[in-house]
Structure 1
Amino acid sequence: MKNMKLKSLAMTATALVLTGTLAACGGSNSGSNSGTNTAEGGTGGNTEKKVTLSLLVDNTQDSVNLANAYVDAFQKKYPNITVEMETRPGGGEGDNIVKTRLATGDMTDVFFYNSGSLMQALSPEKNMLDLTNEAFQSNIVDSFKPTVSFDGKVYGVPTSSTIAGGWFYNKKIYSELGLKVPITWDELIANNEKIKASGISPVIGSYKDSWTSQLVVLADYYNVQAQVPSFADDFTAHKATFAGTPAALRSFEKLQELYDKGFMNKDMLATTYDAGLKMLADGKGAHYPMLSFASPSLVQNFPDEIENIGFFAQPGDDASKNGLSVWMPGAGYIYKETKNVEAAKQFLAFMASVEGTQVAATVSKPTGPYLIKDAKIPDDVPTLVKDMLPYFESGKTAPALEFVSPVKGPSLEQITVEVGAGIKKAPEGAAAYDKDVEKQAKQLGLAGW
């Protein structure tokens, strides 16, 4: 995830970031001649004919572990269905492989891929099976569905847990200074003033890894859509811009304000992501705007401090509209030309169940709540992950902009470094980003550009 498609969950991404080779595990519909497609929902142990499904996933260790866990549990429950897995590289190379295999009719029965704008670039109406009316869709939280939808039809199910964009904070510092978790931007600014007066850096900047500079702008999207519900559609249609929409410009203004008030560590341009996490854990910095995908690194590298770190959503200007921007996980899709439709649907139905999330949790600790109704995160996740639950339980979440609009400019991280380091003012940064997205929008052939 390192470009915030975040590097969008290429670090899972969440940052989110991928090498490897395509494993030769069979052709696209390797089981199309090995049985019928009569598999139905129900319990294991049935006497139906054997069916073999092919599955394509990226080759990151977490993705492979997750897919293997799903496959093993599914095959035990439905022994008439065998799932054969292939792997592909991640990143741009993997994107090209997926697009090529779809274009040549050589795609597997089921494949895991990004949700959001990258999914929309795959021409889902031509290449993916419409899952809108499947019964298992009732298990899936509604906020996920727009990220795997195209022209009103739903094509995917989530493969893992959510990732949230917001602020990590050091609980020891908050306790020592008598601070409360802020729910408005003014409250956050007031906290930062007290932290600065104590001699601690209020906000950690790690702009040496420039992708981290985007968080204040991107995590603010819940606040943008709360004020302008049509912004994603209008932005996609070129009817709205960041510079011309006060609620969206505010995201850049917040980033500028952190610099103007001297809240950032002075060596922000030389500080890396890893160093930022250490500053937070060591209490050298009080806040770190970041994605929750950082929680596994904190657990691994700072186990003694993990319970001293909390998480809150980026505050807006209205306490009654406090909510969380969410980076959605990738999704499982069915190739439209599969000859094993029912077995493929059954596999996705298993993933989209509480049982499926329990299987996933055995190999991949969630970095946020699951998107399956009634699914619970394990008790042994860090408290900072549990801090996200109230937002989901109250329905106060929204997908990050890149999951509801295909328009995402490649230079945002350079622009936010400039605004966050005082090189550009917020209006200049917002205008630069509006110009940055034009090329991509035109490449996508979007109306209005």
Structure 2
Amino acid sequence: MEEEKTDMKTTFRRTGLALVALSAAAPAWAQDPVELTFLVDNGPPSVAQAEALAAAYTELNPHVTFDIELRVGSIDGDNLVKTRLATEEMADIFLYNSGSLFQALAPTRTIVELTDQPFLDVVSDSFEAVVTADGGVYGVPIGPGFAGGIMYNRAIYDELGLEVPLTWDDFMANNAAIDEAGYVPIAQTYGDTWSAQLLVLGDYFNVEADSPGFAERYTNNEAKFATDPAALRSFERLEEAYEAGYFNEDFGAATYDDGIRMIATGEAAHYPILSLAIDPIAEQYPDAVPDIGFFAQPGDDPDKNGLTIWLPNALYVPQASENIDEAVDFLAFVASQAGCQAQIDAGQVSGPYLIEGCQLPEDVPQATRDLVPYFNDSDLNLPALEFLSPVKGPALPQLTVEVGSGIRSAAEAAAIYDEDVKKAAQQLGLPNW
């Protein structure tokens, strides 16, 4: 890592600074007051980012204030967003996923297009690609990029003389040594079903490495999880970890908060999770931060070791908003170095911000430092499947819970998931389905 600051940006197509707070051109006293409604999920990082950005923007534009609304996450939150868009009752600005879930919002009919806005000049191409529909760009990034992989306790690794594994066999060998030493090898938290997906979703770099072009074939209904050996292997790895007895005894009821506690306190050595988990660890267990590391989920070939990455969520403006100009101007602020800095100041930094010129401070957590080599080399990272294909079925959390609990085999779950995604693809009107 460089002495001054770590620049973790991706490759950009253009240079220049974002246009920030266009409305500041007129004196605040001459402008009518505006209150923007702002819908975000109720996760602490999302709330902190929204509050920090709103406060920073209002400081520059005193006539604009914000009413931040919270919604639940998961499927219920997805349905609420879709319903409010469909009924034209959406907030002036809303935070939602990029990638496949964004495509399901029918953005060309419901969301304001931003393609010609000059502030997109400093947004990374890789992010724009996952908020693009029919050639138009519809969102700006909020929060950092992050990854799916294995969070691990470095103190346990040091104690047992273990090295970061580059193959699945090495990973399982580490788990055997950890189990022998009396620690939980792998924390699993099926009380929050979304977390059960990570050993499958975080494996996508390995799928593409062993089955190049899988995402395109999958989108075209030419490849299946149940019949492509590399894709099926993702479900099989989850099955193998369960059958080896490497999970915590209460894995069926344990929650994400329990997983955070286990990895931070050294009760568990590994937690397959998103790298964003460093934020709650830093908040709840600050002394543990130096002991927490992160590595890519290993595949079968040490020469094909790389990281499955997630691009940030996005902010969007609905077409039904009565304050489109002000809302879009707020997005211009978010897509600027000042907006990026407001987010960095709001809490721990768990990954790169995809705004040109936005640099991370020197004192980032070790787990974030571990991501640097992967993000800095395009050959060492690949977006998760949901960013490469619009096809994603809603049943994956439950199916991975079943595989990870021994209720259903990997092969059976993969076949059921293939049927699940068929429905989603047909709803999107994709050809060949």
Q: TM-score, normalised by structure 2?
A: 0.82
Match of 2:71 among 78, 84, 89: 89
Letter in 1 for 2:39: V
After TM superposition, the structure 1 stretch with the greater mean CA deviation from structure 2, 101-110 or 111-120, is: 101-110
Distance 1:156 1:433 in 2: 29
Letter in 1 for 2:350: T
Q: 1:380 to 1:75 in 2, by over 3 A?
A: same
Matches within 5 A, 1:126-275: 126-275=109-258
- The SS at the match of 2:374 is helix
Distance 1:257 1:97 in 2: 37
Distance 2:47 2:235 in 1: 38
Mapped pair 1:377 → 2:360: yes
Aligned to 1:434: 418
Aligned to 1:19: none
Match of 2:344 among 361, 364, 367: 361
Instruction: State the 1:379 CA deviation.
Output: 4.0
Aligned to 1:297: 280
Mapped pair 1:389 → 2:389: no
Letter in 1 for 2:281: L
Q: 1:305 to 1:123 in 2, by over 3 A?
A: same
Aligned to 2:396: 412
Q: 1:130 to 1:229 in 2, by over 3 A?
A: farther
Q: 1:151 to 1:45 in 2, by over 3 A?
A: closer
Q: 1:233 to 1:55 in 2, by over 3 A?
A: farther
Q: 1:129 to 1:428 in 2, by over 3 A?
A: same
Q: Which has the higher contact order (CA 8 A, sep 6+)?
A: 2
Distance 1:429 1:160 in 2: 33
Matches within 5 A, 1:47-58: 47=26, 50=31, 52=34, 54-58=36-40
Distance 1:53 1:108 in 2: 11
Q: 1:50 to 1:286 in 2, by over 3 A?
A: same
After TM superposition, the structure 1 stretch with the greater mean CA deviation from structure 2, 238-247 or 252-261, is: 252-261
- The SS at the match of 1:290 is strand
After TM superposition, the structure 1 stretch with the greater mean CA deviation from structure 2, 388-397 or 215-224, is: 388-397
Q: Contact 1:143–1:399 (CA<8 Å) still a contact in 2?
A: no
Q: 1:432 to 1:341 in 2, by over 3 A?
A: closer
Once the two structures are superposed, what CA deviation does each residue of 1:93-137 show, in whole Å capped at 9, x if it has no partner? 655554455445555554333222232122111222333344333
Distance 2:326 2:165 in 1: 48
Q: 1:197 to 1:99 in 2, by over 3 A?
A: closer
Instruction: State the 1:149 CA deviation.
Output: 1.5
CA RMSD of aligned residues (A): 3.1
Distance 1:393 1:210 in 2: 32
Instruction: State the 1:243 CA deviation.
Output: 0.9
Instruction: State the 1:412 CA deviation.
Output: 2.0
Match of 1:46 among 25, 32, 35: 25
Instruction: State the 1:332 CA deviation.
Output: 1.6
Q: Contact 1:127–1:336 (CA<8 Å) still a contact in 2?
A: yes
Letter in 1 for 2:274: L
Distance 2:300 2:412 in 1: 22
Aligned to 1:401: 385
Letter in 2 for 1:431: A
Q: Contact 1:43–1:77 (CA<8 Å) still a contact in 2?
A: no
- The SS at the match of 1:448 is coil
Match of 2:265 among 282, 295, 312: 282
Q: 1:138 to 1:228 in 2, by over 3 A?
A: farther
Q: 1:314 to 1:273 in 2, by over 3 A?
A: same
Letter in 1 for 2:40: D
- The SS at the match of 1:388 is helix
Aligned to 1:447: 431
Once the two structures are superposed, what CA deviation does each residue of 1:146-189 show, in whole Å capped at 9, x if it has no partner? 32121232211111123321111111121122222123323323
Aligned to 2:9: none
Distance 1:309 1:277 in 2: 11
Distance 1:428 1:379 in 2: 47
Distance 1:138 1:227 in 2: 35
Q: Structure 1: state its 5+ residue gaps.
A: 1-39
Once the two structures are superposed, what CA deviation does each residue of 1:376-398 show, in whole Å capped at 9, x if it has no partner? 33444432122222211223333
Q: Contact 2:21–2:329 (CA<8 Å) still a contact in 1?
A: no
Distance 2:220 2:354 in 1: 28
Distance 2:264 2:136 in 1: 44
Q: TM-score, normalised by structure 1?
A: 0.79
Q: Structure 2: state its 5+ residue gaps.
A: 1-18
Q: Contact 2:89–2:320 (CA<8 Å) still a contact in 1?
A: no
